Amino acid sequence: MKISGHPAQGETAAPSPADTTHTARTASGQSHIHESAAAQVAGAATYIDDIPEIKGTLYAAPILSTVAHGRLKGVDAQAALAMPGVRGVVLAKDVPGDKMLASFTHDEPVFALDEVNYIGQVIGLVVAETVMAARRAARKVVADIEPLPAILTVAEALQAGSQVAPPVTVVRGDAEAALARAPHTLEGRFEVGGQEHFYLEGQIAYALPLEQKQWWVYSSTQHPGEVQHWVAHALGLDVNRVRIECRRMGGGFGGKETQAGHLAVWAAVAARKFARPVKLRFDRDEDFMITGKRHPFAYAYRVGYDDTGRLCGLQLQLAANCGFSADLSGPVADRAIFHSDNAYYLEDVSIVSHRCKTHTQSHTAFRGFGGPQGVIAIETILGDIARKLGLDPLDVRLRNLYGIEDRNVTHYQMTVEDNILQPLLAELETSADYRRRKALIETWNRASPVIQRGIAITPVKFGISFTATLFNQAGALVHVYTDGSVQVNHGGTEMGQGLHTKVAQIVADELGVPFDQVVMTASDTAKVPNASATAASSGTDLNGRAAQFAARQVRANLAEYVAGVDGCTAEAVQFVHGQVITPRNVRDFADVVHAAYAARVQLWSDGFYRTPKIHYDKHTLTGRPFFYFSYGAACTEVAIDTLTGESRVLKVDILHDVGRSINPAIDIGQIEGGFVQGMGWVTTEELVWTEQGRLATHAPSTYKIPATGDIPEHFKVALWPEPNREDNVFGSKAVGEPPFMLAVSVWEALRDAVASARSRSNPAGGPLEMDAPATAERVLRALGGIPD
């Protein structure tokens, strides 16, 4: 794989004009290895299941509903309680505080109360002296459930009016009138499936009761502050009595933003009942059956357009399958609305969003947080328009891009001020040799009887910030010890994405010390309180800036001290390469710190940051919900076998905007990983529920994520060479979520290949109808090889 567009190891990127300090930047802009990489390779990086257990620790296993919807009449645990090593069961009656979880909508019980709402809902726990004893006993518990009618699909939910929240409508202009006068109109329907997070480390919590009603809970969570609140709420305690710690997760992808809280609450309730530490870890089957997924969506659209493919009007219905409770479905569905434009100006538009309640797992955050479900809708529509007009889909996309001086306001009334879409797409079109390759593919397809190829370029414009404005804040602590070593703590969490590494680079530069002089510590609610989730791609933006501000204050304290000693101004003191330089002297950083300590200078500080400029009316979904946009584009070439429906991604070229990269290697890794995960979403990762509501794809044997053999040999990633135009840390941009949506190019390339095959066998055929993921079965059906 080619990595380009960034400084090589040992080189230093130029400082951002908006981020000038009295240090020479030697850490940021370089591809430093991940701060835990050596420990992870050596098997020495500690995850929660690696923590040495306190004597007396017990183990819990979940008791699951076997009915999608029913009345819970009782629980018979006699057989389980008779098994060796079993200490007891935990049910809703054992929850000392509120029996409903402390979620925003307060609509989900800690344990099932008088009703069960999906197969896999946790009714209670079996607690035993070993993990296997607990799991075996949990299978012996019999729940008496009277079945009730279950709603399992979006169509059934819409018909029944079943919803977790009211519908939301966003309107600009007059879509109906625009459609009436449009030269052409097109209608369509399709569905996009959900996605299992499939983090390597499953959900886990370890709850330890302490003295004086205090608690220490180790949780594999993206949001320690929320877990703290949930545990305190369930135990009936003040929040200050609960401490949550997380050194790292083995992946999260949004699946541990809210749903890690469930395990922490369950483990804590069990630990309180038995007055012993309790660990709860799901096996992979349980994780699949219990936890929520990416929201499946169903779409219906009516679009008007002219002879060039420019949109005239759009009516779009988005129906999200939310599962049995709201969880984060409201903001997920809102972001799908926000990103239904992707990179395109929608002048007369009406978008209706339904938040459907079904008797399945409660779906939750997943990388992109509704953005992918919005982006794929408009890209599908533009692809359909291009095929209807016989135009190159790229030309139709270019025709509809946001403008610079005009056509630059989104349907939610935010002006797009940092638009680089046109030059970025032009650069990728040239570097990927798109036009020549497309002509060669057309020639190939005319001559090939079985294998058909397709190619597509799709862009991404992704808004960066939490749409819930209150979460756009962060805190950090920077401690400098008397030997000159530095320790950093912040409210963000590390899940493999390199957040701690980037924050260490930022702090090292701010203090002018080597990168390896900075140590990161576990995320801990006892150190930084009320921290927001590490989500919305904002981890570095928020926590990196907060840590920078904390380090800057320590540096200012040291500069003032040295200036007093040398008789110069504090502004004349420089911190670079582990040295402190004034017009009179050059000293080692460690020596200055030691002397400053003796002079009683404060060597630690906190830092706080809140995102500027953002404002948002959640009732009208208008305002400026995002600080800036991240951009990117991908060119993907695919091949399909028209006899079997099998497909393969052949080539990928990506040009992505990360601003001025803090760590190019980490950013490239995020782009590659996000793309491959998105590729899985639109190709092989199919979730299937039976007619009874049981998730049938609940293990790697039936649920297929991309493997190494699915990665194309030609996989090139380049970075757009421009810093963030907003005043963000180091001039960087967020990179966690936007690359996921680059994989919509895979979806459109597959549809291009299918359309080519259909046009040869049935030139007068109707519109291309295919749902995602584009499994072999669905591709074959779209080709007409499988009857509906």
Q: Give me the active site residues, please.
A: 737
348 within 8 A of 177, measured Cβ to Cβ = yes
Q: 100 forms bridges with which residues in the sheet?
A: 109
d(CA 595, CA 599): 6
Q: 744 forms bridges with which residues in the sheet?
A: none
Spell 535-556 as b/e; 16+ CB within 10 A means b. Answer: bbbbbbbbbbbbbbbbbbbbbe
How many Cα atoms are found within 13 Å in the side-chain-facing hemisphere of 367?
Answer: 31
Where are the strands (E) in 234-359, listed by range? 242-246, 278-281, 297-305, 311-321, 349-356
Structure tokens of 730?
Answer: 């180091």
d(CA 616, CA 598): 49
CB atoms under 10 Å from CB of 584, counted, come to 11
Q: Is 123 helix (H, G, I), strand (E, B) or coil?
A: strand
Query: Of 230, 267, 265, 272, which Cα lies nearest the Cα of 134?
Result: 267
Q: Which is it for strands 622-624 and 615-617: parallel, antiparallel or unpaired?
A: antiparallel
Q: Which is it for strands 122-128 and 311-321: parallel, antiparallel or unpaired?
A: unpaired
The angle formed by the CA atoms of residues 463, 223 and 624, to the nearest 5 degrees, is 25
Structure tokens of 7?
Answer: 């400084």
**DSSP line for 379-441:** HHHHHHHHHHHT--HHHHHHHHB--SSSS-B-TTS-B--S--HHHHHHHHHHHTTHHHHHHHH
**DSSP line for 532-595:** PPS-TT-HIIIIIHHHHHHHHHHHHHHHHHHHHHHTS-GGG-EEETTEEE-SS-EEEHHHHHHH
Query: Of 299, 383, 360, which Cα lies nearest the Cα of 333?
Result: 299
* Contacting residues for 699 by C-beta, under 8 A, at least 6 apart: 284, 285, 288
Query: 496: burial class by Cβ within 10 Å (0-12, 13-18, 19+)?
Result: buried
CB atoms under 10 Å from CB of 692, counted, come to 13
315 within 8 A of 334, measured Cβ to Cβ = no
Q: 475 forms bridges with which residues in the sheet?
A: 608
Q: Is 183 helix (H, G, I), strand (E, B) or coil?
A: coil
Q: What is the CA radius of gyration of the chain?
A: 27
Structure tokens of 567?
Answer: 């008789």
d(CA 672, CA 6): 15
d(CA 80, CA 124): 13
CA quadruple 641, 642, 646, 650: dihedral sign: positive
For 54, which DSSP code? P
| Bond from prior residue into 773 cis (ω within 30 degrees of 0) | yes
Residue 322 is which amino acid?
Answer: C
Query: Of 209, 174, 111, 578, which Cα lies nearest the Cα of 348?
Result: 174
List the end-to-end C-alpha distance of the chain, in Å, as a whole number: 40
